[in-house]
Amino acid sequence: MNKRLSAQPTASIELLQSHSLPSLVQRHLENMILAGQLIPGSKLTEIPLAGQLGVSRGPVREAFRGLEEKGLVRVERNRGVFVRTITSAEADDIYEVRQAIEELIVRKLAAAPDRVMEAGLEEVLAKAGKFAEKGDFARCHALNIEFHDRLAALTGNAALLDHYRRLANELSLFRHRAHAKIRDASSLRASVADHRALLAAIAAGDRRLAVRLIREHLEASRARLQRLLADREDSPG
C-alpha cells in the first residue's frame, strides 16, 4: 500500500468509480512507455508491477492484453511481456500508413478551415517555437506531437483519430531509440516551421498545397529519424 496509482488518495476513489483498475493500469503503463520511461525491449514483470501500483496481478494481466492489441507490448507465452521494439523497416512501414492517414486529415481540414482557425493551433505553434528557442527539447517535442493530434481530432472522425493515434504511438516508440542520446534542436525548429506553413495552407483552404506540405513534412521527418538512428548505431558510444 505504499505507492498507489494516484498521488491524491481522495481523487483515486472517484477515478475508480468511472474507470476500472485494469484500464487505469493500462493507461499508466501506456504513459510510461510513450514517455520513454520504459525502454523498448525491457521486460514487464507482473508481480513487481502489481506491487508498485498497489493492485493484484489480475488487472495487470488485463492491461497487458490491451497494450498488446495496441501494439505497445509483445507477449510471449510463459516468458513474459516486453515493451515492443520497432525496427527501422517497421518504422518505414508505419510511416507509409501514417502518410496516407495524415493526407486524409489535411484534405478534410482544408475543405473546412473554419473550425481549424478557432482551435487555437497558432498558440500551440507559438509556444512550441518559444521552447525551441530556449532549447527545451522535451516540451517543444510534446507540443509538436500535440499539434498533429489536434489536427486529427479536428476532423471529427473518431475512427480516423483512433488510427492516427495508434500510428503516432508506435512511431514515438521507435523515436525513443533515436532520441535516447541525440536531441537535435534544429530538427525541432524545422518541424515548427513546417507546421506553420501547413496550418497556413489549411487556413487558406489550399488543399493541394496542404497535402504537398504534409507529405514533405512526414518524409523529411522519416528520413531525419532514420539517419539519426543509423548514426547512433554506427557510433554507439
Partner DNA sequence: TGTTTGTAGATTGTCAACAATCTGTAACGG
Partner DNA sequence: CCGTTACAGATTGTTGACAATCTACAAACA
- Residues 6+ positions from 91 with CB-CB distance below 8 Å: 171, 174, 222, 225, 226
- Residues 6+ positions from 124 with CB-CB distance below 8 Å: 143, 146, 147, 150
Contact status: 4 vs DNA (CB under 7 A)? no
Q: Is residue 5 helix, strand or coil?
A: coil
Interactions with DNA, residue window 72-91 (CB under 7 A):
75, 77-81
Contact status: 43 vs DNA (CB under 7 A)? yes
184 backbone φψ class: left, alpha, beta (φ>0; ψ -120 to 50): beta
CB of 78 to DNA, least distance (A): 4
- Residues 6+ positions from 131 with CB-CB distance below 8 Å: 139, 140, 143
189, 172, 147: which is closest to 225 by C-alpha? Answer: 172
CB of 169 to a copy of itself, least distance (A): 12
Interactions with DNA, residue window 170-199 (CB under 7 A):
none
User: Count of residues binding a copy of itself (CB under 8 A)?
Assistant: 34
**Residue 159 binding result from a copy of itself, DNA, none, given CB thresholds of 5 to 8 Å by partner type:** a copy of itself
CA separation for the pair 182, 225 (Å, rounded): 11
Contact status: 19 vs a copy of itself (CB under 8 A)? yes
Q: Which of 61/127 has CB closer to DNA? A: 61
Q: Which of 17/186 has CB closer to DNA? A: 17
Interactions with a copy of itself, residue window 60-89 (CB under 8 A):
61-63, 65-66, 68-71, 75, 77
Residue 167 contacts residue 221 (beta carbons within 8 Å): no
Contact status: 176 vs a copy of itself (CB under 8 A)? no
Q: Which of 33/188 has CB closer to DNA? A: 33
- Beta-carbon neighbour count of residue 231 at 10 Å? 12
- Residues 6+ positions from 98 with CB-CB distance below 8 Å: 164, 167, 168, 171, 218
Contact status: 227 vs DNA (CB under 7 A)? no
CB of 46 to DNA, least distance (A): 4
Query: What are the residues binding DNA (CB under 7 A)?
Result: 16-17, 20-22, 43-47, 54-59, 61, 75, 77-81
